[in-house]
């Protein structure tokens, strides 16, 4: 389920579930005398892997140097236990060039493929596979890789060691990858924090960092985290440090149960303090879910610690031990419940986003159906729309005869007087501008000029040549004394 989440959603679920649940499920490998009920529960989960693995029979099949592990694992080689994960990662790595080649061919030979669903799918796959998905799987499988690499290196010092050379070489290589991966993720988080500081708060809220090639391909490390502080961005790295420390004390300090439990309890308390102080998760629901994981893991560790103290004090009651065993089993089962809840919460968030997107597309299609082509209306003259320009005709001493004047141009040009009748102007269209004795004849002429439709049968030069004459006739025909 974590693999599906990391590939499709790219959220924090898979990293958190594996990195928090992992140590809890591996508590059985601590140097503690567990009751039979918890032993049977652990044996059913760790006796043999059910995943297809061609390396199942490689490596040593006898006991190793860690007695707590011998009771639960028949084959302790790295390839026998996580070979399927290595094969899966290898297949994903091979898919990267295949996906990129398909995307390049599609863009080259298919016109107008941009924005199509298959183009977006290949583009999203390219970004997810390199590097978000691989980083997510590396962090999620970090505990398995670290645990069995450490175990292979530690068992190599046994005089009766009969593991093959291939498994030993793989364990040494895995050991180096585990150590280098811890430093590499820290360096990568530091680079991401520096890059994110160049973005504004608005760009972060709109998730525009997805469009950046460097940030978009590594979004799994910070997608659900607060991006304003380096300490909040370190949450995945702190999970890896705990896994590294757990595997180290469980293998190399297998004979020191007090050191093992002290380290795990201190780190669990520090993680709770870190979560309450910095609150690295952006969403409140994800923060509470993370706290639920940590509290559940701490309760399981508390049960193991009390059981170890009871054994150290000389307790021999199987009934009392069984109570602690059931307590630890319930805590392990609680992790599974939290995994389902966390996974479906992420699915719900994406379902809401998809629903909103589909709703917006449906509304756009609905609006397009309502749109109908509108007939082109003729351009209305300002003299018809302005009530102030529609006053009764002002009669002047040189009133024009009927059938002549402003709108009866012999050349068919509306808005201009006929060249033959420049001395006879009918002032009814703009008579309100002249009430009170031609208050502002210049503004009247500007309105007249702007209202003319000079594009139809009326060249610009004709209006320019007649404007001075028109102004002269208006002043001549209308005395200043009274209208």
Q: State yes or no: pLDDT of 143 exceeds 80.
A: yes
Same domain, 389 and 363: no
Count Cβ atoms within 10 A of the Cβ of residue 439 and give its class: 0-12 exposed, 13-18 middle, 19 or more buried.
exposed
Check residue 147 and give its pLDDT.
93
Q: pTM higher than 0.85 for the full model? A: no
Same domain, 471 and 350: no
Check residue 62 and give its pLDDT.
59
Picking from 341, 368, 395, the residue at the C-terminal end of a domain is 368
Same domain, 294 and 426: no
**How many domains, the chain?**
2
Classify residue 422: in a domain, yes or no: yes
Q: State yes or no: pLDDT of 178 exceeds 90.
A: yes
Segment 49-98, tens digit of pLDDT = 556 677 777 766 556 778 888 878 877 888 888 888 888 888 888 888 88
Same domain, 314 and 402: no
pLDDT band at 424 (very low <50, low <70, confident <90, very high): very low
Same domain, 21 and 70: yes
Classify residue 379: in a domain, yes or no: no
Classify residue 392: in a domain, yes or no: yes
- Average pLDDT value over all residues in the chain: 75
Q: State yes or no: pLDDT of 21 exceeds 60.
A: yes
User: Average pLDDT of 10-33?
Assistant: 81
Classify residue 376: in a domain, yes or no: no
80: containing domain: 2-368
**In what helix (H) or strand (E) does residue 241 lie, and over which residues does it extend?**
helix 235-252
- Three-state helix/strand/coil letters over 349-401: HHHHHHHHHHHHHHHHHHHHHHCCCCCCCCCCCHHHHCHHHCCCCCCCCCCCC
Picking from 340, 368, 396, the residue at the C-terminal end of a domain is 368
Same domain, 71 and 120: yes
Classify residue 343: in a domain, yes or no: yes
Angle at alpha carbon of residue 334, lines to 315 and 324, rounded to 5°: 5
User: Average pLDDT of 201-206?
Assistant: 79
Classify residue 377: in a domain, yes or no: no
Same domain, 361 and 410: no
């Amino acid at each position: 389920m974590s693999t599906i989440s990391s590939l499709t959603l790219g959220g924090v679920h898979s990293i958190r579930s594996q990195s928090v649940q992992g140590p809890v499920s591996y508590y059985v490998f601590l140097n503690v005398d567990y009751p039979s009920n918890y032993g049977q529960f652990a044996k059913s989960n760790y006796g043999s892997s059910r995943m297809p693995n061609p390396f199942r029979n490689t490596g040593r099949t006898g006991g190793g140097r860690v007695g707590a592990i011998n009771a639960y694992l028949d084959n302790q080689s790295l390839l026998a236990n996580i070979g399927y994960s290595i094969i899966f990662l290898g297949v994903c790595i091979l898919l990267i060039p295949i996906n990129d080649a398909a995307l390049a061919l599609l863009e080259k030979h298919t016109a107008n493929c941009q924005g199509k669903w298959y183009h977006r799918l290949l583009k999203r796959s390219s970004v997810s596979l390199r590097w978000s998905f691989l980083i997510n799987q590396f962090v999620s499988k970090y505990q398995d890789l670290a645990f069995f690499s450490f175990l292979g290196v530690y068992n190599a010092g046994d005089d009766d060691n009969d593991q093959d050379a291939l498994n030993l070489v793989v364990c040494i290589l895995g050991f180096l990858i585990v150590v280098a991966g811890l430093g590499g993720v820290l360096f990568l988080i530091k680079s991401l924090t520096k890059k994110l500081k160049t973005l504004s708060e608005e760009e972060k809220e709109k998730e525009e960092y997805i469009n950046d090639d460097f940030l978009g391909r590594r979004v799994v490390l910070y997608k659900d985290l607060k991006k304003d502080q380096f300490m909040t961005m370190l949450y995945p790295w702190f999970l890896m440090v705990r896994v590294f420390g757990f595997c180290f004390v469980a293998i190399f300090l297998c004979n020191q149960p007090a050191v093992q439990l002290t380290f795990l309890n201190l780190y669990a308390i520090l993680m709770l303090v870190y979560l309450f102080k910095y609150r690295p998760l952006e969403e409140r629901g994800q923060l509470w879910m993370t706290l639920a994981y940590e509290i559940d893991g701490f309760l399981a560790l508390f049960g193991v610690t009390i059981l170890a103290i009871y054994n150290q004090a000389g307790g021999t009651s199987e009934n009392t031990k069984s109570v602690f065993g059931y307590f630890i089993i319930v805590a392990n089962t609680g992790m599974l419940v939290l995994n389902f809840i966390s996974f479906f919460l992420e699915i719900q968030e994406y379902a809401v986003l998809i629903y909103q997107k589909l709703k917006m597309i449906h509304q756009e299609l609905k609006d397009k159906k309502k749109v109908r082509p509108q007939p082109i209306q003729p351009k209305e003259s300002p003299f018809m729309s302005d009530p102030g320009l529609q006053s009764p005709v002002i009669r002047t001493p040189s009133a024009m005869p009927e059938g002549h004047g402003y709108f009866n141009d012999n050349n068919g040009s509306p808005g201009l007087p006929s060249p033959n009748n420049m001395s006879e102007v009918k002032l009814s269209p703009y008579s309100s501008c002249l009430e009170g004795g031609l208050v502002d004849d210049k503004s009247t002429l500007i309105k007249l000029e702007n209202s003319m439709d000079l594009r139809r049968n009326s060249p610009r030069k004709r209006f320019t040549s007649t404007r001075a004459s028109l102004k002269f006739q208006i002043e001549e025909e209308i005395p200043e004394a009274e209208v």
